[in-house]
């Protein structure tokens, strides 16, 4: 019997099927990167603009997004030059075991603390959502933040985190991105309907403020996804630097667009009153924002598994040479999530922790380590653009790391967890029908300093 050949139609169908599969993988990679960036840090971007000054804050957002794009490509270039396929192995080959150990600690701590913050945000936000249900007692145990954290962990985040292939989270990441778009629409709507009735602080339009370095730390916390870039890169069909570059350019552009709108609309609504968690600025009786809180809570739940993937991969690489049996995969996942859940049940305000996480973990992972690896591995001349940019990033990162740490410790974020803002009380009006002027606010709240208002 002679060899069987594919017909032209069969061959074309096979090629189309393979092409479709590759395209789907690339779309999944884009949404995984965007979903990793658009996490809990995004809602703090208006606060970072407040810290830096509105004009400078927007410029810094562009700079951090550009550096993120550049360094994500730089990491994969470094992996290609060194013949490695993980962040840890790249640093190990470049700087030996001490560098590998240092990176592993950072790469574990950053997503692990992010998981804790995700739990806290989920508990805080969803508890406020459930309190808006008619005839529900606000003191009911089953709508408390502790019960919600445990419930969402058992039902959602743990099962999703047990996946072994990150590419399977592509559709979930797409859902998360769509929900983020809805949240953005709500923030934009309230900027128009609520913003004109909130008094503007005196320094609202100052170009630059002393806390700009801290703002970079918060922005870095929002944009970082370097700890899982090799995971996403490895999920591609026939991965290459060129293909990865296209994916990163698209992902970063989408993320920057969303972040700019979030930061601008959030800050323009509340100016100097903007808090670290933007949803803390809105009143609890605003049903549109309540829906936004629900969407944001779901987004955080869907982002959580990506961070868990990274923490588990670090442990697998350090202690198991990158290979985990199904049993150990399950045990390690359960242990990581259990510890993160217990810590999040004990803490309800992570302002200073998140800021330090951005400065001490995100800054080295974005600015310093990718640049240092590339500078040591690359044989390009010193005048090459990649080497010049790497030197700039390395120096900038060192300044942000040192100055940001000092400022974060000496001038920590205020924690106004769960407090209603002053503008929520006058006349007990619904936010959808506000007609309160700054003069009425200062009249009804004499403790407010009128010099804070324009």
pLDDT tens string 94-103? 899 899 889 8
**CATH code assigned to 21-421:** 1.20.1740.10
Place of tokens 């305000």: 349
Widest distance between CA atoms in the chain: 97
Residue 155 has a pLDDT of 92
Domain edges within the chain = 21-421
Mean per-residue pLDDT over the chain, rounded? 79
Report H helices in 205-286.
212-223, 229-234, 241-270
Residue 154 has a pLDDT of 93
224 pLDDT band (50/70/90 cuts)? Answer: confident
pTM value? 0.77
**Region 389-397 average pLDDT:** 90
**Region 120-124 average pLDDT:** 84
More confident site: 321 or 72: 72
More confident site: 415 or 150: 150
Contacts of 170 (CB under 8 A, 6+ apart): 24, 25, 27, 28, 29, 31, 32
191 pLDDT band (50/70/90 cuts)? Answer: very high
**Region 308-320 average pLDDT:** 86
416 pLDDT band (50/70/90 cuts)? Answer: low
Asked whether the beta carbons of 252 and 68 are under 8 A apart, the reply is yes
More confident site: 87 or 293: 293
Residue 29 has a pLDDT of 79
**Region 51-77 average pLDDT:** 92
Written as six digits, the tokens of 72 are 């994500």
Place of tokens 């778009």: 181
Asked whether the beta carbons of 313 and 124 are under 8 A apart, the reply is no
Residue 419 has a pLDDT of 67
Q: Say how far apart CA 340 and CA 192 lie, in whole Å.
A: 38
């Amino acid at each position: 019997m002679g060899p069987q050949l594919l017909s032209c139609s069969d061959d074309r169908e096979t090629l189309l099927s393979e092409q479709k599969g590759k395209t789907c993988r690339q779309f999944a990679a884009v949404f995984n990167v965007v979903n990793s960036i658009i996490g809990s840090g995004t809602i703090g971007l208006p606060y970072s603009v407040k810290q830096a000054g509105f004009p400078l804050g927007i410029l810094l957002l562009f700079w951090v997004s550009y550096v993120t794009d550049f360094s994500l490509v730089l990491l994969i270039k470094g992996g290609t030059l060194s013949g490695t396929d993980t962040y840890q192995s790249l640093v190990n080959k470049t700087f030996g075991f001490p560098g590998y150990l240092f990176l592993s600690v950072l790469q574990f701590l950053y997503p692990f603390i992010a998981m804790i913050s995700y739990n806290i945000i989920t508990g805080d936000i969803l508890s406020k959502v459930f309190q808006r249900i008619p005839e529900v007692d606000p003191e009911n145990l089953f709508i408390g933040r502790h019960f919600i954290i445990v419930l969402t962990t058992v039902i959602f985040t743990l099962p999703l985190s047990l996946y072994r292939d990150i590419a399977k989270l592509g559709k979930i990441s797409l859902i998360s991105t769509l929900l983020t778009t809805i949240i953005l629409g709500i923030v934009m709507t309230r900027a128009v309907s609520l913003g004109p009735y909130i008094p503007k602080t005196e320094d609202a339009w100052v170009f630059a403020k002393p806390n700009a370095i801290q703002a970079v730390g918060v922005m870095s916390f929002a944009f970082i996804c370097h700890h899982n870039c090799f995971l996403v890169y490895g999920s591609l069909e026939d991965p290459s630097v060129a293909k990865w570059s296209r994916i990163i350019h698209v992902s970063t552009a989408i993320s920057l667009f969303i972040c700019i709108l979030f930061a601008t609309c959030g800050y323009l609504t509340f100016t100097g009153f903007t808090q670290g968690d933007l949803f803390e600025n809105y009143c609890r009786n605003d049903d549109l924002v309540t829906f936004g809180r629900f969407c944001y809570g779901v987004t955080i739940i869907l982002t959580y598994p990506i961070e868990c993937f990274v923490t588990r991969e670090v442990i697998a690489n350090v202690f198991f040479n990158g290979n985990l049996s199904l049993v150990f995969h399950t045990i390690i996942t359960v242990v990581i999530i259990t510890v993160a859940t217990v810590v999040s049940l004990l803490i309800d305000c992570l302002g200073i922790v998140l800021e330090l996480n951005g400065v001490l973990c995100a800054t080295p992972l974005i600015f310093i380590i990718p640049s240092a690896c590339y500078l040591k591995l690359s044989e390009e001349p010193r005048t090459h653009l990649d080497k010049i940019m790497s030197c700039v990033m390395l120096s900038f990162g060192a300044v942000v790391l040192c100055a940001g740490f000092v400022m974060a410790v000496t001038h920590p974020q205020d924690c106004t967890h769960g407090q209603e803002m002053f503008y929520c009380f006058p006349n007990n009006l619904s936010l959808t029908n506000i007609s309160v002027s700054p003069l009425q606010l200062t009249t009804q709240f004499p403790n407010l300093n009128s010099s804070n208002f324009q």
